[in-house]
Structure formats: structure tokens, C-alpha cells
Amino acid sequence: MDGALHSALSRVCKVETHPAVLWIYRYDFLTIPKQLSRFVKTPICVVQPRNDEEVIEILEIAERFEVPIVPRGSGTSGYGGCVPLENSIVLDMKLMANFSFQNDSVIADSGAVWQELERAAKRHGRSLRVYPSSATVSTVGGWIAQNGYGIGSLKYGSVMENVEWLEVADFRGIKRVDGERLKYYVGAYGTTGIILRACIKLRDDSPIRSEALECSFEEAINKIEGAYHANFKDKRHLALEKLGEKDTLLVCYEGEGDGSEFGKRFWERRLYPLRALTTERIYSEAIVPHESASEFYERTKELSMGVEVVFSRDQVIFLGLFGRGLRQYLKALKFVKIAEELGGGPYSSGLLFPHKCRIERELREYKEKVDPKNLLNPKKAFFENPFSRILKLGERFLWMV
């Protein structure tokens, strides 16, 4: 690491340069095949700012030394959003984790963990409207940066729809963004600014009544109206989880009521996801409009080893389980391709699908204004990179599977 850069950063906060520690920051949940790991760069250093001022100073230093910055929350997303593709400074936001409550919202720092927000909200008689299934560990900034869907999305939509405003930092300082301008940050993986904090909408802490219904996917679609959350798992997925043997819909409502025992059990497992995953399997995630969901399900059900579905207000998110190896990876890619054919696409972009970003041109133009040197998480979200090029190439071979 450049001595002058180290010295400048050290004056701001603790700078981590131990090679083993840096190596860990090459990873998130994304499985990168060995042959492609050469495209990943070990960060120059990891810094953990404690407040806005430190973030601003780090940004100033990065700009002065022209070193890219990769923001990072808990690294639990499978899209490689915080995997460095350039020699970068990793900005680990986990020490910025304060939050405070207003009437109908919580203002939470980027590094706050969703479950801790939920616990605290409950003490105020409130509850998060939406949160990720990885809420036990994932951070506010991380989930917003990928525009996630999760628990509660059926009633309340994606996290974008539940953010009132964001405070973001870039090379010009700190600004508050809301309304239409949120699209430049939510789902942009920190390529246009560092999310410092978010004002997140809350709901009344009404109890959740859960039912688990054995039904086909087609039937499931007709049973979710008015629900708060709905999650379908096909029998193959449930069998891999050792949870059941029949296609099952978990459907949850806000309000009093007994629900069913299995429903309660199913609901209680919501924060312990990925139970069908092993080191031999991967997930491919696709998002499709409600009207295409049945067709997507039918067209992909033979492709995967099992399917989990999360319903949101206007979209349906499919998680298909696949094995490892080239043929399986092609199947996983085909899963996304079929979604595209039906008006959907990949669940998120990160480093895998920047070429499929729907507002690429708008984001590119905005980025040129706020980050002309392309230092904020380069090669992500809407910028092509070696991974996305390989996936694009792979699409030519989907006929094989």
C-alpha cells in the first residue's frame, strides 16, 4: 500500500492492512468459480468509519489519490456487490450502526443490522414493514444498495418503496435524496454515492397470523390477496430442507388469530433461510411480473432442483436451486433468461448482471455528474465487467440445457 495513502487514511480512522484480513474482503456470498477469481482484486486496505465526517474525509483522500472505494455492509448478498474488481479501499460501514425512532419511521445508519432495528422498533410498539430474510446479520445500507425484497414485500413492496429518504455521501459532500431521485441510489450498489443512513417506514406492531397451505403454485397465486407476506416452496425444495413433502404456501396476515401450527413453524424459520443449500448447490434468482408468474413457474420447474417463491406487491421473486458445474450454471442462467422473456429479469445486478440494468442510461448519466473519475464501486450495477461479459457469452450456449 502506498505510504502516503496509508498515512492520510490513518489520520482519519483505523486502517486494516493485514493480508489475511484483506483476503476475506474479496468475498461475499457470491460463489466465484476458481477460474474467474483472478478478476477479483484484494483490497488495498479496509477502513471502518465511525461517523459522517470520517466518510467524507476518506472520500476526499480516495479522490486525491484516485483510488476506488468499495462500500460494504455484511457481505451477505450473492451478487458480488462488495467484491472489489479494482485495487480499492473497502469502506466497511458496520461501525456506523446508530438509529433513532420517529412516529412512523426509523432513521438508521448504514451499518445497522435489520434485526436489531426490528427488536428496537417493537419496544416502541412499531415494526419494520419489510426486512430481508438475512435480517439477523445484514445491514440497512447493504440491502438498500441492492434494492431487496423480503418479508412483508407482498403488502409493502421492495425496500425502495419503504425508504422515505436517504443521506448519501459523495465527493461533493453529503446530501439528502428522496422521491424520484432514490432510484439513483437504491439498487445502485454504492456506485453513485455511499449510503450513510436511511429513513425507513414502519408499521404498527400488529401480530402476524400464519397459515401453511398445501397447494400447487397455480392455486397459491389465488390465495395471497390481502396478505402481508407469502412464500411458496415446492415439494422438492421442502424435501431438501427436510421440512415437508408437498408443495406448500406460507401466507401471513397482519392481525390477531391463531393460524396453524405448521404455519407458525414455517414463519419462525423465515430468518433462517437457505436451509436447502449445501456446498454443492447454488441459487439463481429471477423476478417476474405477477401476470407471468405461472408461465415462468411452468417453464422453469424442470430446470431447477427445487423452487422457492417470494411474492411481492407487483413482482414475484423466484429462487431456483441448482447444482454446481458448467451445465448447472447454464441452467441457472437460463432461469434468468426465461424471466427476461416474460418481462422480468435478474433479481439484482451487482457484478453479475450490470448489462441487464433497466435504467442503465439514466444511472450512467447521473454517475458522470457525481463520480466523473469512476471511483465509487467501479464495474458494478450498470458497468460491464469480466463476469458480466462471461455471463453474456454464456447466454449464447443456453440451447445446450
User: Which member of 172, 246, 278, 291 binds other proteins (CB under 8 A)?
Assistant: 278
Identify residues 33-62 at the interface with other proteins (CB under 8 A): 46, 48
Least gap, CB of 115 to other proteins (angstroms): 9
Residues contacting 152, CB < 8 A, separation 6+: 128, 129, 130, 131, 203, 228, 229
* Closest-CA residue to 156 (of 312, 293, 315): 312
**Cβ count near 246 (within 10 Å):** 13
Going by C-alpha positions, the residue among 138, 69, 150 that lies closest to residue 97 is 138
Out of 33, 245, 272, 295, which residue is the one contacting other proteins (CB under 8 A)?
A: 272
* Sole residue written with cell 438498500: 144
Angle between helix axes 52-65 and 3-10 (nearest 10 degrees) is 170
| Rounded CA separation 43/26 (Å) | 7
Of 142 and 259, nearer to other proteins (C-beta) is 142
Q: Binding segment for other proteins among 250-258, 276-284, 351-359, 379-387 (CB under 8 A)?
A: 276-284
Which of residues 103 and 279 has its CB atom nearest to other proteins in the complex? Answer: 279
- How far apart (Å, rounded) are the C-alpha atoms in residues 374 and 362? 15
Cell of 321: 436451486
Give the residue, chosen from 183, 235, 275, 355, that forms a contact with other proteins under the rule CB under 8 A: 275
What's the start-to-end Cα distance of the chain, in Å?
Answer: 45
- Contact between 269 and other proteins by CB under 8 A: the answer reads no
Instruction: Between 277 and 370, name the residue whose CB sits nearer to other proteins.
Output: 277
Residue list 86-115, contact with other proteins (CB under 8 A): 92, 94-95, 111
- Which residues lie below 8 Å from residue 213, measured CB to CB, with a gap of 6+? 220, 223, 248, 249, 251
Among 11, 18, 327, 361, interactor with other proteins by CB under 8 A: 18
Total of chain residues touching other proteins, rule CB under 8 A: 35
Select from 15-23, 193-201, 250-258, 345-353 the region that touches other proteins (CB under 8 A): 15-23
Q: Which is nearer to other proteins, 152 or 273 (CB)?
A: 273
Question: What is the contact surface with other proteins in residues (CB under 8 A)?
Answer: 16, 18-21, 23-25, 27-29, 31, 46, 48, 74-76, 92, 94-95, 111, 119, 123, 134, 136-138, 272-279
